[in-house]
Amino acid sequence: MSERKGRFGIHGGQYIPETLMNAVIELEEAYNHYKNDPEFQSELAELLNNYGNRPSNLYFAKKLTGELGGAKIYLKREDLNHTGAHKINNVLGQALLAKKMGKTRLIAETGAGQHGVATATAAALLDMECVVFMGEEDTKRQALNVYRMKLLGADVIPVTSGTATLKDAVSEAMREWTSRIDDTHYCLGSVMGPHPFPVIVRDFQAVISKEIKEQILKAEGRLPDAVIACVGGGSNAIGSFYNFIEDKDVRLIGCEAAGRGIDTFETAATINTGKLGIFHGMKSYFCQDDEGQIAPVYSISAGLDYPGVGPEHAYLHDIGRAEYVPVTDDEAVDAFEFLSRTEGIIPAIESSHAVAYAMKLAPKMDKDKIIVITISGRGDKDVAAIARYRGENIYE
């Protein structure tokens, strides 16, 4: 009887080719060693604070609160991190770990390009080689980020298989890892894939909720009533939720990309529309057809355009600890514009899904209630795409 590792309830596990098993075992051993190593932790803290610009602000959005007329809204400003998103938290951790393991090369998948940019950044800083796999469709939607990665010294490989989006970039990065393991670490960008990735990425992102807790206690003397974050694979959401899981009075709300609506096939809302399955190394919920074929999902947001969800989210859903709500393209674009105008903050289109749900929820809550929205990234990368969505054909 073999030991089944990395489970969140029935979810998680290590459904990967034998070729990669020793690599993930080695990674798990290294992580278990270094996570308790004070020197590693102080090096990482130094990187996160002085290079990554942590802690990120918890900003009271006074105008947004006033406009919506309900609960007080705070924004956790992960968009102010170096490279413009929460992705850097995980990447600095994994890159440092890989370096300690003697790896000289990082590979990564990317959807919107934020994780790719973060990985390329860490590779530049730590003198490592970097190759980023990105769906060809996404290289068009996020052309600016492709050039940023190249500028940082990374090779960007457009992936043409399947739907040429994030799912295919993950598959291709896994294929690349099976062909070159000795010197290469697969810097996975979300709380997904085989164990130990969902644990490692969650631990490195948990700094978000650790800071929110300290900051809100300082500002308000109490915990928030709700924490809201967008969910693709789910890394910024699990980071935002993690230190509140035991605080049962804090509602945890993950916002899934519904695309054109959960009653259409053009959606990426996995928990709302998917079924239990096994893919990309994990058991979790996946958008799939009756034959078990993975569905070609859709969202305006390249970062949420993924047919699965991290196993810990699937578990939090199963036990009813977190809620997962669908948000459409239209609602997200409205929120993107609304936050830009009211607060002068342009959120990433991914994060706009969380803002959109908060816009529905806040007016229904009393004025003494508190909502925290994680703004997982900044929206500069999305400006041209949103302009096109609104019918203005601008060039980047």
Partner 1 sequence: MSRISEAFKDNKAFIPFITCGDPDIETTRALVNEMVKNGADLVELGIPFSDPTAEGPTIQGANLRALNGGVNKEKIFKMVKALREEDDISVPMVFMTYANVVFSYDAERFFKTCSEIGIDGVILPDLPFEEKDEFEEISTSYGIDLISLIAPTSANRIAMIAKEAKGFIYIVSSLGVTGTRTAITTDVASIVKVVKENTDIPCAIGFGISTPEQAKVMSESADGVIVGSAIVKLIEKHGKSAVKPVGEYVHTMKKAIQI
Residues forming the active site: 87, 109, 376
Q: Which stretch binds partner 1 (CB under 8 A): 9-17, 57-65, 109-117, 349-357?
A: 9-17
Quick one: which of 228, 258, 214, 205 has its CA closest to 61? 228
Spatial distance between the Cα atoms of 74 and 130, rounded to a whole number of angstroms:
36
**Which residues, numbered 103-162, are part of the site for partner 1 (CB under 8 A)?**
161-162
- Closest separation in Å from C-beta 156 to partner 1: 19
Beta carbon nearer to partner 1, 107 or 370: 107
Q: Count CB neighbours of 106 within 10 A.
A: 25
Per CB under 8 A, 16 contacts partner 1: yes
Per CB under 8 A, 294 contacts partner 1: yes
Per CB under 8 A, 36 contacts partner 1: no
Q: Cα(first)–Cα(last) distance of the chain, in Å?
A: 56
Spatial distance between the Cα atoms of 165 and 277, rounded to a whole number of angstroms:
20
Spatial distance between the Cα atoms of 28 and 35, rounded to a whole number of angstroms:
10
Of 70, 158, 261, 277, the one binding partner 1 by CB under 8 A: 277
Per CB under 8 A, 5 contacts partner 1: yes
Of 292, 388, 390, 394, the one binding partner 1 by CB under 8 A: 292
Per CB under 8 A, 102 contacts partner 1: no
Contact 347, 375 (CB under 8 A): yes
- Closest separation in Å from C-beta 16 to partner 1: 6
- Closest separation in Å from C-beta 302 to partner 1: 18
Q: Render 235-274 in DSSP notation, one character per residue.
A: HHHHHHHGGGTT-TTSEEEEEEEEET-TTSSS---HHHH-
Q: Which residue has the tokens 């259409």?
A: 264
- Closest separation in Å from C-beta 280 to partner 1: 7
Spatial distance between the Cα atoms of 68 and 364, rounded to a whole number of angstroms:
9
- Closest separation in Å from C-beta 1 to partner 1: 7
Positions that interact with partner 1 (CB under 8 A): 1-5, 13-23, 161-162, 167-168, 171, 174-175, 178-181, 275-281, 286, 288, 290-294
